[in-house]
Structure 1
Amino acid sequence: MEDSSGRSYKNLVARDHALIVAGDIIYNNQGPPPRDYKGSYSYSFLRVVATFVQRPSLHDNLQKQLTRERFQDNNQGSRVVVVCGLGGTGKSQLVLSYFQQHRWEYTASFWIEAGRKETIERDFLRVYHLLFDVTGQGDVKIEDAVLGVKKWVVEREGRWLFVFDGADSIDRTKSDKNLNNYVNIEHFIPDTPSVDVILTTRSPSAEGLTPVEVVKVGEMEAVEATALFQKCSKMDCKGHDKATVNKIVGELGFLALAVSLSGTYVYNTPRLKLDLQEYLDEYRTRRKEILAEMPTWLVHQYGDSVLTTWETTFEAVTQQCDQASKFLTLLGFINFDDIFIDLFLPISQDNSYEQNKEDGAGVVWYNRIFGGAEPDMYTIEKCFRVLQSYGLLQWKPENSYAMHKLVHAWVFDRLHIEDQRRYVLRSYVLPSLSLLFNAISKAGHTPKARQRLVPHIMANFEAVSKADLQDLDIEIAIRLFKTSGDLLSNEGRWIEAYGIRKFVYFKTLAMRGGDHRQTISAMGDLANTLGGQGKLEEAAAMNKEVLEKRKRILGKEHLNTISAMNNLAVTLGNQGKLEEAAAMKREAS
């Protein structure tokens, strides 16, 4: 670029840096002043995706934060509104919709891609060139460009909007790698009352940027998620299909990106349009592969799969607190809801625990996470705090935490990504079993505490039973699952107890053979569970087999044989075979 005297701007800067003051251009009356730019800027063409579904409550909250009475707290700086949420919740689309609807209320608006320092600097250079009608990125230093843009909005009347999208690298940690990517976002924010700033982020530091209420983006409303799925699948679902769609979006946890990708998957797979239930079945068996599908940019305007965006978050958590990342992996082995702190606090070392510890069943769960150091409440709270700050956990009024069901599934699924990670999966199996064993021991005979453990016991069983267990692991799992099965049976949770006791019986049978005392005991437990379910014929047949084996191996007078007689007598009585039951009772007495 040349000024009116024919001298290039680059040469002017090289000859006399004083010609740039706070990034602004001094033309010395030899050229045009910076122009009064009006309009919108973005590096990429911005449009809301065609399938976008309005989220009125979030939109209204965002508008409220930007239009409420300003300076009531005597703050003379820019108003910064943070839009925060887990990756894939639809933060950018929400803000983009607001940007498109309200940019006419501003003299000028600027969309800055803030995912990396390089993209922020690129956009500020382009904005600088736009405002000052300067061409050629190499002519201006980035610091001069940043200061110039800031000074430009300060010195002009009007109202300006800056959107910093995807500002996820604004946390300074001890990691050298992360420091190279670190963005001091405050350095780029103009500090003047005429500027509104919207910042989308997953970062835990963002809330500290502003006293204004954070707009938290989470799950979609059920009706919103259903509408999004129908738009993406291009299906006008009614009747049975509508009910299936409701099941699908519920299975997806109402997560915007997952719903969008699933709807598109159905649209691109004609056979699924004929039977949506087939997709639901397919998703349940191929969840990891489907969630790993990369979005189509022109359709979704999102560059990462659901799994990729969470992997990025996991890496950030690991860099900040390695214990928290390991703790998160452990959470994949219990239920995603009602995660309470007391569940993780160690128990007093009573005799029963010490005995189990000696034979391997009482593996100390915190060895894997805390290197053997017994955690206290404050250590556990720190892990929760880090995970909550990244949106991986949410605090509930019931005095516990919850995890999005898809995040919970991903935490477990990620352990299967590569064969070499199998050892990582196995290294969490025994700690998770130990954790539940401790919790059951602490609950004692308190009904409320025991009932609270049931969802965690069942989630743990589902996770561990899928693992590639070795013989020693199976032995320990059998011992600890017996404890879980006892709790469930004592609480009358016969359906849940059946699955666990069936697992224990068949694993013991495979390892010990049919006549081993542990196998016979496991068969007796399974028979009692069948009886509790009302499956009396099956229970009676199994109880008879247990009795026959105990008579043959232990003799009629052994206490275990007498116990088997009593169990069979109870089952016969429940069948209405009162004479047989009475005869068995007499034999046992």
Structure 2
Amino acid sequence: MGRKDKQIADIHVEELPLSMRLRLARQQKGVSLTEMATRLGYSKGYLSGIENGNIRVTEDLLRRYAEILLIGQPELEGLLQLLHGPAARREVASWFVPYPRNAFFTGRDALLQEVHERLQTGGPGSRLLAITGLGGIGKTQIAIEYAYRYRQHYQAVLWLNGDSPEALLQSCVELAAHLDLPEYGARDHQDTVQALHQWFKEHPRCLLILDNVDNPADLHSFLLPPDNSYTLITTRHQVIGPLGQSFELLEMSPDESVQLLLRRAQMIAPTTALARIPDAMLTLAYEVARELAYLPLALTQAASYLEETGCGLASYLKLFREHRAEVLREHDSVASHYQFSVATTWKLSFERIQQAQPASSQILYLCAFLSPDRIYEEFVQQGIAHFNPELVALEENPLLLHRAIGELRRYSLIRTQPDSGALSIHRLVQAVIQDSMDEETRRAYAQRTVQAVNHAFPLVTVARWHETWSRCQRYYAQVEVCLRLIDRYQLASSEVSQLMSKAGHYLRERTQYRLAQQLYQRALDIDRQLYGDDHISVARDLGNLAQVYEDQLRLERAEQLYRQSISLQEKIGGATGVDVSLLKRYAHLLRKTGRAHEADQWWQRIGPYDADHALTRDVINDNDPRIIYHEEGHWSTRQHAGDFNNDAHFTETPGASFQCQFTGVGIEIISDTTIHTGEIKISIDDSCIHTTNTARFSVEKYTQTIVFSHTNLPSGPHTLKVVVINGSFVLDALAVFSFNGPIPTEEKNV
């Protein structure tokens, strides 16, 4: 099926070049390109080249256009002036941009203004700006639109193709020929480059656009205009060194994406506002844009498909979700100057990386199976050798890891987030990588990803609480991804069981008991499948389940599981082979159910094996009576699923305070930094210990954030007092550390 004639919006006609005016005039008269070619006796491809600006129109053909399209004499004279007039002759030398203006260019107004301001405000030696970003993100379209929109600010606007050193040399030859420089035919192309450099010296206030520069470092020894001109570079490489300024182009906003999709698909007029689009169409358009991750090239390809087939947004959405790989390989060769489809664009980058730096490709494959945002560098370092044992050197040597990451940044396939130093990857890049694998290979990489995450995700321990808790918070998004991979590929291994147990323990500590119970149960099922019923891993799983049932006050079921775990551990390792902490928890449960005599018997059994100085951590919830809130602080309560025990106290009153008496060697303050931030002063035993601003946690916002920890107190009773200096503050819970001095179970309110 052939593609429809590319439409041009009837806006800014006076700014359009002659070629696009001819196309617009033809479209306004309702004459198709095929009909026009038949009446003129030319091929359709030839006329398409003229209307795209790739073939120069002759005066005779221009007059024949006017005759067929009934163009009046005044308008014809204007077109002839564009073809032959003095202004046109001046423009021949001052304008060398090989692409017509994109009539469907959408949004990005603030970004274009920023480009202009950064170019114009840069002093001598800094009039170079590089637009960096992923292939298909819209870098070249930004450069084209900037050239047309701001051409009046420059004496000349000239364009070079920087795909490779060879392409750049050839482009210089073509530019020199356009400028009618005698050196354009020199055998040594470096003579041509020098002639161009001299031309720039003699013609100030020129804009040179170097498009798709493969390696900005090559430009040091090549062509850069002198300080009296301006240079705009587009490149995938995120690092351009001392060449000049740079900024990374990101995805379009959801609103811009929807406008581009619907306008390019000819489903709305170019001037139609979002508020005037029917709700049903708008909802579907936002879903399509979200699926395409707001990538301009993908949106353009989708719009071209919609225009060509007329299938409608709902059908396209279903098609994309069911046949994503094939859809991303679709190439809009007519409606876009872009040479490749989304999938092909990135596939070429993948192949180059594989050849240049195999370790980089493995990091990329790992990232392709992870949650795309906030992939922490230390997480990659801790897990990469378990993803691929051949990369153990990257785990041991951060320099090698940085080099491998740098190669990925060269192609903008991953992004480094300046606030946290974490890596991120575009969701469509992940999709293309996974879609390039057969099912067996995808399953193998999913298994390796689970192994890597299991190694990096820590077990929360009291001895290293702050460190392990913070890492669990940062890495838990990757655990959620792994759980989906485990379900999809029905993975069952010791690594899967271990990851579920560690994640269950973290969720239990967060009082997300239902989820913790599910993971503990799944770990038990896998271990029974792997080892049978009589194995130490099965005994530990039973103990974990017992604890989470106890947390939910399902004490009868908890007791059954405790007894099963203890009995199995005795069967495997004898009376001395039972975990002491398990025996303690069971004794506490007996006391909690009013069976003090039985509990004492178990404590007697524990006695010979109990550690003298075991560090314990006990949580005091925000509604515990030991926490006293001063009424003048206007403290309020809230119910929130992310809080410890799903509740918290908060205030927005400066001077608000609370205090708590506790016995132990340390204390933590647990808050929520997702929304509320403020400065607090912390005192222990009437002595100011610390002042902290919880806004410093704004880079990574979590519920149950530890905002203060002090574990070097003398053992004994203490009084904590916290005063809000400014802003707002949430008290979710306190945690008390002690040596063999847990808060009695019957007094705990958690």
TM-score, normalization by structure 2: 0.54
Give 2:101's match in structure 1, choosing from 47, 63, 77.
Answer: 47
Determine helix, strand or coil for the equivalent of 2:158. strand
Is 1:220 equivalent to 2:245 in the alignment? no
Report if aligned partners of 1:451, 1:491 keep a CA contact under 8 Å in 2. Answer: no
- Distance in 2 between the 1:363 and 1:108 partners? 51
Equivalent residue for 2:262?
230
1:296 and 2:327 are equivalent in the alignment: no
**What are the equivalent positions in structure 2 for 1:48-447 lying under 5 Å apart?**
48=102, 50-68=103-121, 70-71=123-124, 75=125, 79-132=127-180, 140-155=187-202, 157-170=203-216, 184-210=218-244, 213-233=245-265, 234=267, 237-267=277-307, 270=310, 272-274=312-314, 279=317, 283-284=320-321, 286-290=323-327, 292-318=328-354, 321-343=357-379, 365=386, 368=389, 370-371=391-392, 374-375=395-396, 378-388=399-409, 390-396=411-417, 398-406=419-427, 409-410=430-431, 413=434, 416-417=437-438, 426-437=447-458, 444-446=464-466, 447=469
C-alpha displacement of 1:84 = 1.1
Go from structure 1 to structure 2 and tell me whether the alpha carbon gap of 1:453 and 1:120 turns closer, same or farther (over 3 Å shift).
closer
- One-letter identity of the residue aligned with 1:462: R
Which secondary structure does the structure 1 equivalent of 2:179 belong to?
helix
- Cα shift readout 1:463-514 (whole Å, capped 9, x = no counterpart): 4554585x7xx23322333222222233233465466446535544555568
CA–CA separation in structure 2 for the residues paired with 1:545 and 1:509 = 18
Contact 2:93-2:156 at 8 Å conserved across structures: yes
Is the 1:363–1:434 Cα contact (8 Å) retained in structure 2?
no
Residues 161-196 of structure 1: per-residue CA shift (max 9 Å, x gap): 22111112446xxxxxxxxxxxx3344424323432
**Alignment counterpart, residue 496 of structure 2, candidates 477, 483, 487:** 477
- Aligned-partner Cα distance in 2 for 1:551–1:159: 83
Deviation at 1:364, TM superposition (A): 5.8
Offset of residue 40 of structure 1: 1.9
Q: The residue matched to 1:296 in structure 2 has which SS? A: coil
**Cα 1:461/1:125, change in 2 over 3 Å:** same
The answer to whether the 8 Å contact 2:238/2:410 transfers is: yes
1:497-508 aligned at under 5 Å gives the runs: 497=516, 500-501=519-520, 503-508=522-527
CA shift for structure 1 position 450: 3.1
1:416–1:425 CA contact under 8 A, matched in 2: no
Residue 126 of structure 1 deviates from its aligned partner by 1.9
Q: Which amino acid aligns with 1:226?
A: V
State the match for 1:15 in structure 2: none
The one-letter amino acid paired with 2:422 is Y
The answer to whether the Cα contact below 8 Å between 1:443 and 1:449 also exists between their aligned partners in 2 is: no
Q: CA RMSD in A?
A: 4.8
Q: TM-score with structure 1 length normalisation?
A: 0.67
Q: Give the 3 Å change call, closer, same or farther, for CA 188–242 of structure 1 in structure 2.
A: same
**1:336–1:404 contact (8 Å) kept in structure 2:** yes
SS in 2 for 1:89: coil
Secondary structure of the residue that 2:157 maps to in structure 1? strand
Give how far 1:265 is off.
Answer: 4.5
Paired AA for residue 400 in structure 1: G
Q: Percent identity?
A: 19
Which residue of 509, 512, 515 maps to 1:493? 512
Alpha-carbon distance in 1 for matches of 2:461, 2:134: 35
1:270–1:517 distance in 2 versus 1, CA, 3 Å: farther
Distance 1:143 1:451, change over 3 A: closer
Q: Which runs of 5+ in 1 are unaligned?
A: 1-34, 172-183, 347-361, 574-580
Inter-CA distance 516–202: structure 2 relative to 1 (3 Å threshold): same
State the AA in 2 paired with 1:301.
H
* 8 Å contact kept, 2:236–2:412: yes
Cα distance in 1 for partners of 2:262, 2:514 equals 36
- The Cα shift of 1:365 comes to 3.0
By percentage of residues, which structure has more strand?
2
User: By how many angstroms is 1:336 displaced?
Assistant: 2.8
1:90 to partner: Cα distance? 0.7
8 Å contact 1:84–1:202 — kept in the other structure? yes
Aligned residues: 496
Equivalent residue of 1:297, what SS?
coil
Deviation at 1:92, TM superposition (A): 0.6
- Cα 1:395–1:190, aligned 2, differ >3 Å: closer, same or farther? closer
Deviations 1:133-172 (A, max 9, x none): 779x8775423322233223333x453222111112446x
User: Per-residue deviation at 1:54?
Assistant: 2.5
Shift of 1:63: 0.6
- State the alpha-carbon separation in 1 of the partners of residues 239 and 534 from structure 2: 61
Q: Does the 8 A contact of 1:336 with 1:408 survive in 2?
A: no
SS in 2 for 1:298: coil
Give the distance between the partners of 2:462 and 2:146, measured in 1 at CA. 51
Answer with 1 or 2: which has the greater Rg.
2
Q: What's the offset of the Cα at 1:284? A: 4.8
Deviating 4+ runs (over 6 angstroms): 513-517, 526-532, 539-560, 585-589
Q: 1:92 touches 1:200 (CA, 8 Å); kept in 2?
A: yes
Task: Quote how far apart the aligned CAs of 1:295 are.
Answer: 2.9
